[in-house]
Structure 1
Amino acid sequence: MNNYWKESVNIILVSPTLTSIDGSVKCDYDVLTIGGTASAGSLQSASYVLPGGQLDASDFSYNWWQLFDRLGVSSTSLDSFSASVSQRPPIITENLLVDELKRCSSNSEEVLVDTDIALRICAIRHVFQQTGLLLVNYLRILLVHRKSHKYVDKNQTIEYRKRVTQSPQLFPEMCETFDLLPDLWSLNEWWNWLTPSSVGRSPRFDTMYYLCALDSQQPSMSGQLWSSPVTLLNNRHNGHYILSPIHVYELSRLLNFETIVGLKEFARKRQIEGVQRWQPILTMYTDGAIATLPGDDYYPTRVEVFADKQAQSYSLSLREMRAKSCRLNRIELMGTNSDVVVNIDMPSKHIRPVCQYYERHTICANL
């Protein structure tokens, strides 16, 4: 089926910092990004992205219900992911992959797992594929089912990581083999982003973001970068790597939190408000571009999510366009660099990104 976009997840994975806190970085946690070689023609040598990837049919597999039941996970516990959440985006309520799976299914008695659960499984699977880290809940198995998990040695982990990367459907098999319960409860809904229709990239992605705070420090492996949010954002300007504009926006939210405990508590309490799906609207200017977001003075009242439209161009600079605006919620793009410019309150009780530079701080202070 040729859908308008692919559904995917990204996970903001944070852990206690491995380095001592100095006066310049007031933050006791690091966030994980994964390094990758830039595409041909890129102005930079590499990019860093949050872990994540595309939703797969195996994330909805009926086998997950069987595993949850065998490990003593109650339906009430699983229902809690959606029952108490007030605002659900289309990736949950109108999931394209779910519709396709139902149309193609030859077994009407097999019940797919709920989308809230499948998206979390997807995030946990991609973290395992990309880092080798297994986000599983051993304590819940011990307390609820009164049994210990089977030991997974290093060689088995390496082998299954290779196999699951090639065949995602082997992830539920692995969890069943070793009585591994994906720690769905450690992932808190964060936000939902839809690729703009005017970027000229195929496919587009409808991406759910989750935040997960780990309890212990994590060593940095090859291809991984654990860094404080402010360091990660600042060092992108040295030319060694780039960050996507959406990642810059979400990492800028983290600048509000100095402690991992505070961040974790905020995410846990806020997620009951649900998330909105935001589609940036791109417009071109003399010295760059702007990705306008909901709440901004120049965000259109009617947004076409399906039609492919070219970005409109204007003979103004980014600074001039900013001066014409009172309510700002946008990402200013200059080559491969991007800056967040926000001065409005966030919906769904979310937190406003921190504008990093002095000029931005002046804007953000003038509500």
Structure 2
Amino acid sequence: MSQTAFPAKWRTSASVILVSRDAGESKDYKLLMLKRSDVTAMMINQTVFPGGLLDKADESVAWLQYLEEFGVPQEALRRLVLIRDDRPAILAPQGTGCYDRFFKRSSIWSREITLRLTAVRECFEEVGLLMCRNRSQLDFGGVICVQDVPDLEEWQRRVHDKPSEFLTLCRELKVVPDLWALHEWSAWGSPGFMRYGHETVFFMAFVDKQPKLLAEPSEVKETLWLIPKELLELVDHGEIWLLPPQVYELSRLIGVKEYQNLLDFAIKRSRLGTTMYLPVGYDCQGSVVFVLPGDDFYLPEPHLVHKIIGFSGSEEEFRGRSKRLHRYTYGPSIQSLDLNFAPPNGHLKPLKFQQERQKL
């Protein structure tokens, strides 16, 4: 059975962990992260992966019609849809993720398609990066194709102000969004006690070299190309602020040193599915510990937990009551991160945060 859907107040979004081969050392890689503008940031110097909210324009069947006109075979679209009984609701709102249920009147059913469209569109809106393929590039490979855009600033503004203009842009340039080079990576939800939360799918995408970027000033203050350890070091120094999902994902990547190894892993792992990580909080005498799927204290319906649960003992006592640990301590950033069993879906195990920060 797919996981229970989030409340209507939760907003659905998609993010891209964009990986670029390092020009200096061809085996190395860097990640793109964005410092949010002071207007949009939750905290000063909040830093995120590119991405944003699902828009109704991303669900328009006009996209499927355009893809068909362009010559994209239906089999290529079917390859995007992962049919498994354990799909999280964000990726299978129709129940099975079946290709034959793409349509619901005027909307695309398949979230594997719509959220990839969201991710590609948001990357263009935020940093002017058009991840698309022309007709000569329809080999649906594992590395992103990037297109030049005449009048980039004008088009970026148009799409930012009206998301449906992204389809207009693709028609004019005769390209299609490069959905096939976005590899499903993870999914995170806001803790249930948050009044307004998000459910977000993270995709991973790869480019052979760092593309030119155009930061959208109302949303992006600065773009950063850094390795995972450097980004975590900036967190330690207070120069950037990350929410737990970003810290967790960077901690997964510390141990992967080479671009090609990460690319090969991301392609292979994307077919193994995704587990929704929706933290459940416990107050352990002032220390707030958030548990994740597989932890002994994780609950079967975490979206129904609308408050932090009280625990009468200390954080150490809370840990001592558990054999299986998948948790982090938070406030105002992650203080520790523990996972003592194999992660679900064949995923990377995040390296123990406190041990790694001592090496930075």
Q: Which bin holds the TM-score, normalised by the shorter protein?
A: 0.7 to 0.9
Match of 1:112 among 108, 128, 144: 108
2:195 to 195, 201, 220: 201
Q: SS of the counterpart of 2:132?
A: coil
Partners of 1:111 and 1:243 in 2: CA distance = 34
Which structure 2 residue ranges, 5 or more long, are not aligned? 1-6, 96-100, 216-220
For 1:153-192, list aligned pairs within 5 A.
153-154=149-150, 156-192=151-187
SS in structure 1 of the partner of residue 36 of structure 2: strand
In structure 2, what is the Cα distance between the partners aligned to 1:138 and 1:70? 13
Do the aligned residues in 1 keep the contact of 2:82 with 2:273 (CA within 8 Å)? no
The change in CA–CA distance for 1:83 and 1:358 in structure 2 (over 3 A counts) is closer
| 1:188-337 to 2 correspondences below 5 Å | 188-198=183-193, 200-202=194-196, 204-218=197-211, 223-300=222-299, 302-305=300-303, 307=304, 309-337=306-334
Query: What corresponds to 1:364 in structure 2?
Result: none
In structure 2, the partner of 1:33 is 33
Q: Please report how far the alpha carbon of residue 357 of structure 1 lies from its aligned counterpart in structure 2 after TM superposition.
A: 2.6
Percentage of matched positions with identical amino acids: 29
Rounded Cα–Cα distance in structure 1 between residues aligned with 2:71 and 2:195: 44
Q: Which one has the largest radius of gyration?
A: 1
Cα 1:311–1:158 shift into 2, 3 Å? same
State the alpha-carbon separation in 2 of the partners of residues 315 and 231 from structure 1: 38
Residues 285, 313 of structure 1: 8 Å contact kept: yes
State the 1:88 CA deviation. Answer: 2.1
Secondary structure of the structure 2 residue equivalent to 1:10: strand
Question: Contact 2:51–2:119 at 8 Å: present in 1 too?
Answer: yes
CA distance in 2, matches of 1:38, 1:339: 28
Distance 1:86 1:227 in 2: 37
Q: Which residue of 2 aligns with 1:10?
A: 15
Counterpart Cα distance in 2 of 1:142 and 1:337: 42
Q: Quick one: which amino acid aligns to residue 29 of structure 2?
A: Y
Q: For residues 84 and 304 of structure 1, what CA distance do their matches in structure 2 show?
A: 24
Q: Alpha-carbon deviations, 1:139-170, whole Å to 9, x = none?
A: 654679xxxx9x8544x221111111111111
Does structure 1 conserve the Cα–Cα contact (< 8 Å) formed by 2:311 and 2:318?
no
Q: Residues 31, 201 of structure 1: CA spacing in aligned structure 2 closer, same or farther, 3 A cutoff?
A: farther
In the alignment, which residue of structure 2 is the partner of 1:46? Answer: 45
SS in 1 for 2:290: strand
- Which residue number corresponds to residue 365 of structure 1? none
- 8 Å Cα contact 1:15/1:213 also seen in 2: yes
Superposition deviation, residue 215 in structure 1: 1.6
Q: How many Å separate the matches in 2 of 1:172 and 1:338?
A: 43
User: 1:317-358 deviations in whole A, cap 9, x for unaligned?
Assistant: 434433443221112113234432111111111121111333
TM-superposed deviation, 1:126: 0.6
Q: What is the TM-score when the length of structure 1 is the normalising length?
A: 0.82
C-alpha displacement of 1:18 = 4.4
Whole-angstrom CA distance in 2 between matches of 1:141 and 1:257: 29
For 2:12, give the aligned amino acid. Answer: E
Aligned-pair CA distance for 1:38 = 5.7
Contact 1:52 1:126 survives alignment (8 Å):
yes
Aligned to 1:68: 67
**Compared CA separation, residues 339 and 293, structure 1 to 2 (3 A):** same
Q: Distance in 1 between matches of 2:199 and 2:323?
A: 29
- What's the counterpart of residue 99 of structure 1? none
The whole-number CA distance in structure 1 between the counterparts of 2:137 and 2:21 is: 25
CA deviations 1:72-118 (Å, max 9, x no partner) are: 1100011111156674221122269xxxxx9xx9x94x463632111
Distance 1:184 1:350 in 2: 21
In the aligned structure 2, how far is the partner of 1:37 from the partner of 1:234? 21
Offset of residue 194 of structure 1: 1.6
What is the match of residue 218 of structure 2? none
Whether the 8 Å contact between 2:20 and 2:30 is mirrored in structure 1 is yes
Deviation at 1:256, TM superposition (A): 2.5
User: Separation in 2 of the partners of 1:93 and 1:142?
Assistant: 26
Determine helix, strand or coil for the equivalent of 1:196.
coil
Aligned counterparts of 1:308 and 1:235: Cα–Cα separation in 2: 33
Q: Is the 8 A contact 1:283 1:290 kept in 2?
A: yes
Deviations 1:2-53 (A, max 9, x none): 82311111111111124559xxxxx8111111102467997x6311011111
Structure 1: unaligned runs, 5 residues or longer: 22-26, 97-101, 362-367
Q: Residue 223 of structure 1: SS of its match in structure 2?
A: strand
**Is the 8 Å Cα contact of residues 72 and 141 (structure 1) preserved in structure 2?**
no
> Aligned partners of 2:84, 2:340: CA distance in 1, in Å?
27
